[in-house]
Amino acid sequence: MLHDRLAEDLYAEICRIPLIDPHSHINPHKAASRSLDDILGYHYYTELAHSAGMEQTFLGPDADPRDRVRDIVRHMNRYDNTAQYQWFLEIARTFLGFEGERVTIGDCTWLCDQADKLMAQSDWEQQVLKKSNLEKVFLTNDFDDPLEGFDTAKYVPCLRTDDLVFHLDKPEVRQRLAKATGTDNPGTAIRKLFEHFVHKGARACAISLPPDFSPSIGKVKEGPHAIFWILAEHCREFKLPFDLMIGVNRNVYKKGVHQGRDLYDQRTSLIQYAELFNAFPEVTFPISVLSSPQNQELVSYSWIFPNVVPFGHWWYSNIPAFIAPDLRARLQAVPKVKQLGYYSDAYKLEFCLPKYNMYRRILAQTLAEDFVRPRVATESQAIQLARLLLRDNARRIFDA
């Protein structure tokens, strides 16, 4: 898909680097898809189809999965310009043997049948991991996840803490916490969670935060800010990086599809986190942001703060039009050993390949234009740089 010989060569070499995917929503018990519905049920497709006019009729849990798939595919000719459609096309070609130029409603039955047949193979998950060159995939685990029954060296646990920080006032969350830890005391409970997660091989604590969140010590004694600060203290003690995914407003489009209701407010700044970064020099904060102006701040903060590192290209900013300028800036101004290049954010393994390929193409093109052609680096040095972004930095920063 690249039309530049040097970039093509770099891309081919970059694809040989085994990936550490440092953030996903993979369920390790059902990592790979079982049907085309697992693929097209991803919120990107339901969102785009709904935004382009699809009713939500077939999106409920009781609808027939093939009806749902058919309806999403039927609307593809309204959004086949998007990067997300390209991901699907690459999945269809790479994993399902699709050979057409476009996916149309006429391909739907064949694709469903093909998916049912291929994904039923006992080694499908292994095939996908191998084709995708994935070595490790980080998870996003609820705090009460027992973390059992899967290979935690391959699927690396990560403690997701949104519920603890923002929903601890809800009885059901309190009950889940008490059940998971055997105590009603939040402080004691949180310590037990960290002990449990670290014991099970967790390599990060993570949270997503609204644009107006501004952590500060002593601001309050309880509530989100207090819990957040306690989590940072535990990250320090348990030597876990604390992934901050900054800027999301939840439930903005109230009648949107599942997972398709959140948006952002560009009026946010990393200055809101300055007190945190100062207070915890021992904690590494991999930071994800949602827009290019925030990325520009992130580049500056990562350049100055030793414990701030840029982390992937998140959600609404995860399209080439934003990745390309955001990546270019990071490569020019942030020490190379601090850059966590990309993560899949995937719910199903099959999405790692097209998403990483999108990133790898942009990375190859950027390395060609900014490093190899102007003789800032040799091809070999450029590949070493890519290796840091795709693998070595994640291994070192997360001790994975």
In whole angstroms, how close is the CB of 374 to its own copies at the nearest point? Answer: 4
Least distance to its own copies, CB of residue 188, Å: 32
What is the total count of residues that contact its own copies (CB under 8 A)? Answer: 81
Dihedral of alpha carbons 164, 169, 171, 174, sign: positive
Question: What minimum distance in Å lies between the beta carbon of 265 and its own copies?
Answer: 4
Q: Which residue has the tokens 């393994």?
A: 349
Are the CB atoms for 229 and 217 separated by under 8 Å? yes
Q: Considering only the stretches 112-120, 154-162, 187-195, 297-305, report the one whose residues sit in contact with its own copies under the rule CB under 8 A.
A: 297-305
Closest by Cα among 72, 21, 16 to 42: 72
DSSP state of 73: H
User: Per-residue string for binding with its own copies, 224-253, x by CB under 8 A?
Assistant: -------------------------x--xx
Beta partners for residue 138, in sequence order: 156
Q: Pick the closer one to its own copies by CB: 183 or 249.
A: 249
**Pick 52 or 105: Cβ nearer its own copies:** 52
Which residue from 245, 246, 232, 244 is spatially nearest to 282, judged by alpha carbons?
A: 232
Tell me how far, at minimum, the Cβ of 68 lies from its own copies, in Å: 18
Rounded Cα distance between 391 and 20, Å, is 5
> Which CB, 101 or 172, lies closer to its own copies?
101
Residue 32 vs 323, nearer CB to its own copies? 323
Distance from C-alpha of 91 to C-alpha of 351, rounded to nearest angstrom: 7
DSSP structure string for 28-63:
GGG-S-SSHHHHHTSHHHHHHHHHTT--SGGGSTTS
The smaller minimum CB distance to its own copies, of residues 68 and 361, is found at 361
**Alpha carbons 36 and 344: distance in angstroms, whole number:** 19
Q: Six-digit token pair at 280?
A: 């915890």
Q: What angle do CA 288, 291, 294 make, to 5 degrees?
A: 70
Where in 322-381 is the site for its own copies (CB under 8 A)? 322, 325, 328-329, 331-338, 370-371, 373-378
With CB under 8 A as the contact rule, the residue among 63, 230, 319, 400 that binds its own copies is 319
> In this chain, which of 161, 288, 291, 357 binds its own copies, going by CB under 8 A?
291
> Which tokens hold the place of 68?
């749902």
- The owner of tokens 């999106």 is 59
For residue 340, what are the β-bridge partners?
A: 311
Minimum distance from residue 339 beta carbon to its own copies (Å): 9
Least separation in angstroms between CB 124 and its own copies: 28
Interface of this chain with its own copies, residues 248 to 267, rule: CB under 8 A: 249, 252-256, 260-267
Cβ 57 to its own copies, closest distance in Å? 14
In the chain, DSSP assigns E strands to 19-21, 134-138, 155-156, 159-160, 205-209, 242-246, 248-249, 263-264, 285-288, 308-310
Of 150 and 303, the one with the shorter C-beta distance to its own copies is 303
Are the beta carbons of 76 and 86 closer than 8 angstroms?
no
Interaction residues for its own copies, span 193-222 (CB under 8 A): none
Selected from 15, 83, 173, 400, the binder of its own copies by CB under 8 A is: 83
Q: Interface with its own copies by CB under 8 A: which range of 125-133, 194-202, 295-303, 342-350?
A: 295-303
Give residues 86-145 in contact with its own copies (rule: CB under 8 A). 86, 101
Amino acid identity of residue 134, one-letter, is L
* Interface pattern 29-68 for its own copies (x via CB under 8 A): ------------------xx-xxxx---------------
Question: DSSP code of 370?
Answer: I
Tell me how far, at minimum, the Cβ of 364 lies from its own copies, in Å: 13
User: Which of 97, 100, 182, 293 forms a contact with its own copies (CB under 8 A)?
Assistant: 293
In the block, residue with structure tokens 């923002």:
166
User: Which amino acid is it at 354?
Assistant: P
Nearer to its own copies by C-beta: 180 or 319? 319
